[in-house]
Amino acid sequence: MSRKTGSLELLDMDPNHFGKENYRSETKSLNLGKGQDSAQAASESGTLNRPDDLPLLPGEKVTGQARDVTYLCPYQGPARGMLTVTNYKLYFRSADKDSNIIEVPLGVVSRIEKVGGASSRGENAYGIEIFCKDMRNLRFAHKQENHSRRTVFEKLQRFAFPLSCKLKLFAFENQEVFSENGWAVYEPIAELKRMGVNNDMWKITKINEHYTICDSYPAVWAIPAQTKDEDIQVSGKRCREDEHYIQLIMDANAQSHKMIIMDARPTANAIANKAKGGGYESEDAYQHAELVFLDIHNIHVMRESLRKLKELCYPNIEETKWLSGVESTYWLKHIKCILAGAVRIVDKVENHKTSVLVHCSDGWDRTAQLTALSMLLLDPYYRTIRGFEVLIEKEWLSFGHKFQQVTICLPLSYALSIVI
């Protein structure tokens, strides 16, 4: 599989590492509980003793602690204990020493909200609610007289969304030592050669080395051997160069001179896009090409479906209406459409030896889903740990999926991507 300029595309934590060294933090303590002399001394000195019972990673720093906090568990009821915020995780340890530590990586946090105000009355009416991308909502009640909520809220905002505060991601603060350099896992030329590229039919090009052809496409990719630079430098609506390039892709397949164009969108959406200057391929213009719509909805529809599923599952499930409730979210239908689309692509490539071109409206969400799933099914290499790392680099990162914009770095809770 290869890709086409524009929006088109062809086809753990080891506790033994932590030790017991004395850990100090440069951040002032959040431990505001009454009668905690040692905590107050730590606060005044601007340092925090590392809690020995927390499984901190090398480079993970305690930025604050708040005692006498109540975790409002929707299943087992309230639990009072200590809340600890680091530059990587939120930890809650119940006063009951036999209970487990609750750990929440801050990258999982979608948004943080304050609950209640100065006039709030009633037990547990004043605190913080944390909305997570794994469908959990965690609520922690604070006592107003402790004045701990504001500081905890600010710490969470700061380290859950580090780029908005001009901080580094924890990945760059992590001091774990690994035997392998992760930056060298994916080498595009080596991967293309592993796939057999650079032969009589296909060649490797660096025409986009400076990202002047397409800024969301990689510097290196494969094109038909007979392709000239001018064939891939023209973009826009239907044009002769585009039709010629598609023909070159078909000619590069010695086992079939037909192409299947898989458009990820629903038919109605593709037609509507014509009004915006988009549209879809005409089978009359692309000889020996067959156009297929896969009926996969856009990210806005998917996000709304997931919201309904979360409301159905959390915090309680009504078993008598479970099946009808799941059906009403359309979540499983959306998953089925994506999987069915990947299976259709694999069938055309594997059983019919046909070239398949995949695209959607933008090219960095549904397109990557389909191509990555198809490659997982077609090539066992991608089902290994190393191969899966390469696949994410190749099909997602190098082709412009907006990980930074839509995942962990900014508190844009309503712009989150859920496609991966």
Annotated binding site for substrate: 273-276, 298-299, 360-366
Amino acid at 121: R
Alpha helices for 219-330 (secondary structure H) = 240-251, 267-273, 299-313, 322-329
The Cα–Cα gap between 188 and 401 comes to 17
The answer to whether 225 and 203 are in contact (CB under 8 A) is yes
Neighbours of 173 (CB within 10 A): 16
Q: How far is residue 79's CA from residue 96's CA, in Å, rounded to a whole number?
A: 8
**Greatest CA span in the chain, whole angstroms?**
81
Q: Are 268 and 356 in contact (CB under 8 A)?
A: no
Q: Binding site residues, as ranges?
A: 273-276, 298-299, 360-366
Residue whose structure tokens are 């006592």: 143
CA torsion angle for 330, 333, 337, 343 (degrees, to 10)?
A: 160
Q: What is the rounded CA–CA span in Å between residue 68 and residue 81?
A: 6
Q: Which of 132, 239, 360, 409 is catalytic?
A: 360
Is 360 an active-site residue? yes
For the CA atoms of 102, 107, 110, 115, the dihedral, rounded to the nearest 10 degrees, stands at 40
Which DSSP string do the residues of 307-325 spell out, in sequence order?
HHHHHHHSS---GGGHHHH
- Closest by CA position to 72, among listed 28, 115, 10: 115
Pairwise CA distance, residues 361 & 363, whole Å: 6
Q: Can you read off the two tokens belonging to residue 96?
A: 């009951």
Is-contact 203 222, C-beta < 8 A?
yes
Length of the chain in terms of residues written: 420
Catalytic residues: 360
